[in-house]
A and B are shown apart, each in its own frame.
Chain A
Amino acid sequence: MKRKWLFGAIGVGFAFAVAELIIGGISSKVQALEVLQPTSEFYVNDQADVLSEDAEKTFISRSKALDEATGQQVVILTIPTLGEESLEEYSLETARKWGIGQKDKNNGILILLVTDDHLIRIEVGYGVEEKIPDGLAGRLQRTFLTPRLKEGDFDGGVLSLQTAIIQALNDQEITGDPDGGPTLAELEETFTENESEESDDGFLTLALWLLAFGGVIYYSFAKKNNFWKKCPKCGHRKWTVEQKYLSEIKVTEDTVTCKKCGYQKKTKTKDSSGGGSGLAGFLLGSSFGSSSSGGSGGFSGGSSGGGGSFGGGGSSGRW
């Protein structure tokens, strides 16, 4: 059977919609400083190499425990310098790109240390701004991190701040003890899960399209084979269809048999290139294309990592 039309038409339809997407243009901002990729450990990204291995391990295990118990993510990034880049912009872009925190709860925290420039920033996710408002973020910085950084104690400062943040996020007393904070068990106890309902419109749209498409195909198939025509003998409307392809004469013979009385009708059709399925293919292709361009149009400022989102809350400082 010739399927050229079907595939060709799907291709054209899809290309049409994709071309529209490309013409629309993708504007990329030229960044003075490139946003990095997170390391395999995710929680610790010590690009400036100021933390000892032990400190890194401790930080990771604590953040991991926090993540498991509550879904909150505390991540640290250290870089040597920002260059021309703005601290707040870089921090926000990184936090968003890495998708720190859960998508529906936006409960992520990014600690950014710029070691040569002596700058600090704590970036607070949308969902935890209540727990750590800007004033508190600044105070935590000034109390637990900055004094230690001034003495050169990066390990102590970072671990202490991490503890303080974890305590603040979970309504515990803020001690900022570098040697420990709430245990996994304690976190799990105090943390209550709120189920959030997700409604996925994209899926619904796709399902509707497939349904319509299926409907179109069924209808044309049914119409062609007289599915609803009355049987001339008994008036019944149900048929069975049998198709035979006679290759010598390149003709398809369809035999429809009335289910009730056995009345049969044979029709012969010449092999044609299926214009009908071609159009159905175009429909399918263009609907896929336009639903994908609709999806990406909706994203502005959201996180491409699919994780938590940030609105610019937090505080900056220097030491």
Chain B
Amino acid sequence: MAEEKKSKMSLGWIIAIVVILVILWGVGTYNNLVGMSGAIDGNWAQVENNLQRRYDLIPNLVSTVKGYAAHEEGVYTEIADARAKLAGAKTVEEVQNASNELESGLGRLLAIAEAYPELKANENFMSLQDELAGTENRLATSRKDYNDSVKTYNVKIKTIPTNFIAGLLGMNAREYFEINEEAQKNVIVDFSE
């Protein structure tokens, strides 16, 4: 390594170097935040994937149940409405609300299915239940991953000294994806065979 023996450094040089260091730190921090933001987007994409999966699963599930319990009209309408809402949802909040409604509807549907033993024994229905349970689990997982990454990010942009960069460059806190805990419980089916 070279030996540096500068006998004297002018004040100008010192200021310049300090400024450069601050800029470098700023750039590093910004890039870090961008990376975190990207992770959040990635996790949200996964949440949407799973919502789509559930969305696609439902018609099949509904028609299977209808095959055995045609007269339970209320719940089918509820589900169809929630599904339509979800298709039109744009913001995180809209998606949240629509998805919660859908979950309530599904919970009711499965509760109804409990009363029909032939339905419960139907192989197709059992597979669909597996798929639905799996999808709900995936949704819970991706929601957790999303919220975890949002939390890391939100905390980071509020701590000193990172908050200077974040404020300066317009990086704001991201929303969490909340769910209705009760509705969620209904849908993750407890198997009692």
Instruction: Decide: B4 and A135 in contact? CB cutoff 8 A.
Output: no
Given contacts A290-B29, A298-B39, contact A274 B141 (CB under 8 A): no
Instruction: Identify B130's interface contact among A282, A293, A315, CB under 8 A.
Output: A315
Nearest chain B residue, comparing its CB with the CB of A318: B191
Q: Residue A220 at the B interface, CB < 8 A?
A: yes
Contacts of B77 in A (CB 8 A): none
Contact residues on B (Cβ < 8 Å of other chain), bracket: 35 or more
Instruction: Decide: B140 and A312 in contact? CB cutoff 8 A.
Output: yes
Instruction: Decide: A290 and B5 in contact? CB cutoff 8 A.
Output: no
Give the secondary structure class of B's interface. Answer: helix
Instruction: Decide: A275 and B9 in contact? CB cutoff 8 A.
Output: yes
Given contacts A275-B4, A300-B145, contact A27 B130 (CB under 8 A): no
Given contacts A286-B21, A301-B43, contact A311 B141 (CB under 8 A): yes
Instruction: Decide: A293 and B140 in contact? CB cutoff 8 A.
Output: no
Contacts of A1 in B (CB 8 A): 3
Contact with B along A275-319 (1 / 0, CB 8 A): 111011011001100110110011011000000001111111111
9 A-B residue pairings within 8 Å (CB atoms): A1-B3, A24-B155, A25-B159, A135-B131, A221-B4, A272-B5, A294-B32, A297-B32, A318-B192
* Given A24-B155, A217-B2, 13 extra CB contacts under 8 A: A134-B134, A135-B134, A139-B130, A217-B1, A224-B6, A272-B7, A286-B21, A286-B24, A290-B32, A294-B32, A301-B144, A301-B148, A318-B191
The chain A residues found within 8 Å of chain B, CB to CB, are: 1, 20, 23-25, 27, 88, 92, 133-135, 137-139, 142, 146, 217-218, 220-221, 224, 243, 252, 269-272, 274-277, 279-280, 282-283, 286-287, 290-291, 293-294, 297-298, 300-301, 310-319
